[in-house]
Chains A and B, each alone.
Chain A
Amino acid sequence: MAVEIPKEKWSGTVREVTLGATREQGGTRTRTLTVGGETAMPHHAFEGSFPHPPALALEVRDRKPTDWSPLLLQAWGAAMDDPAAWAKAAEQAGAELIFLTLSATLADGKANTAANARAVVRKVLEATGLPLAVIGPGQAEIDNELIVAAAEEGKGERLLIGTCEDKNYRTIVAGALANDHVVQSKTPMDVNLSKQLVILIHDMGLPLERIIMDPTTGALGYGIEYGYSVMERLRLAALQGDSMTQQPLIVTPGEEGWKVKEAKVGEGVPAAWGDWNRRALNWEALTANALIYAGADIIVLRHPETLRRLRGVVDALMAA
């Protein structure tokens, strides 16, 4: 006897958001990236459609970071000394989006400047044809100064800019409105807070097709379950038709995975932990893998090898 598998029917759809603009669209990108559009719970291909695979991004800094794991420094080598070279290397490694993070300070220890932000954005835009995200260091005043400058410099490129948070979003949203960009809306692991910030940003007049949500997640072993369940609930709400939760989700397992002791530290840990490099890569990859299952649309990574592995996961999921 044939068994019929029960299928869930949903009324809502995740919004499609496009990053990057080609020459015809007013920018200079050679490729654009569209995410979202899902009509069912993550990868339930038998219940709905998934027009765009989860996108894999690599994080690039405006200057060589001082607090990254030596394993990452090894992986990127000299490319890290120049954001343009780094972005190019990331493109070669298979990234679909360059996720450029601006530092709070310059190499001399002084506060980062708008002029520097402009110069770096210009360089990276010229080095690669990929769509670009430009994210501030996470301190309201510096973020506003740097991101507004970056937004102006990248006018028409349909950048993803951020970070918009509930206490500091107006300046960045105004920058996106004026220069035709998309914003990243980040809230601390709560369905209602995610939704509220989307409402606030939308209330300023930014179309919902230009907002991507970062629900905040944790690394494997460091609260990933909580982040996972918030993402799951956001997606359930979106599919049930709750308009303000229908934004694509961006997650940063690269940053989170490489923050934990297991990935960061190679010495003075129990021998049973095994090979450091293998462990660290597994940590980033497994964290990212879980978030893909939770419904992530853009996954920001740090290690090129992790990206290679996840490419396999994504291809397999989309083929299923």
Chain B
Amino acid sequence: MAQAHFTETPFVRKKQRAEVIAKCFFGGMAAAMVIPLLLIVGYIVVQGAPSLSWEFLTTNPRLGGIRGGIWSALVGTLYIVAISLCVSAPIGVLSAVYLNEYAKDNWFTRIVNLAVVNLAGVPSIVHGLFGLGAFVYAAGMGKSILSASLTLAIMTLPVIIASTKEALSAVPVSFREACWNVGASRWQTIRHIVLPNSISGILTGVILQVSRTAGETAPIMLTGVATFKMVQGTGLFLYNPVEDQCMALSMHLYYIATQANNAAPSLPYAIATVLLGVVLVVNATAIGVRAYLRSRKKW
């Protein structure tokens, strides 16, 4: 077989050069987004290192947070994350089930979808105002962990809805048809076939919701997080979620960075490191879970 010979005409060379330039140009743009992430994370960790230790994580803050560790803030964040997850996960998943399995393709469904999009787009501080007006005052819950958690639950609902919906719609229709054909009802189909097969998407949504809740500051600042709160003991049961306000990691960073006097210079960086660590690890878990479950998919 005769081998084809390409002669490198100026036109071809020009084309190849353009190709390289284009790649570098757009690659540079992507790099401009990625490099700051690495630089920032690196800088924060290096600056925060002097304050970081196991003790820092497990002791309660003292003297308004400038001494001691961050345990009660960590626990506060955990409470808020757990409660808001308990509320938003079931509502979010069922809402996605409705949108994907029950809703007909009509104007009403479009409005529901629009509402989800807008719920995601409402500024976080407006969610805070809503939480203050609805939960703290109108429902009489006062500024408490419960108010803050409910506010965040509503705010992060779209995260779970979007992710679950995507997973549900990825389950092939033939699965459902097979199930209907053996006489299963619609709910049985969803319960035994659709939901188990979309567990990866649901889990991803849930994990992303956790990361979002853990990092959020503005809404909980108005609805139930104190700048400093003294607690006794270092167990997990530091707060009463219905009555108490709590400390939270994100708010603690804001407070220490802007208001606390005489704090060690590395302290805010250390808190930022922990907060970044929590959020990034949670997100990486989500990505890992998604990749693992996707690789096990058989269709």
A binds B: no
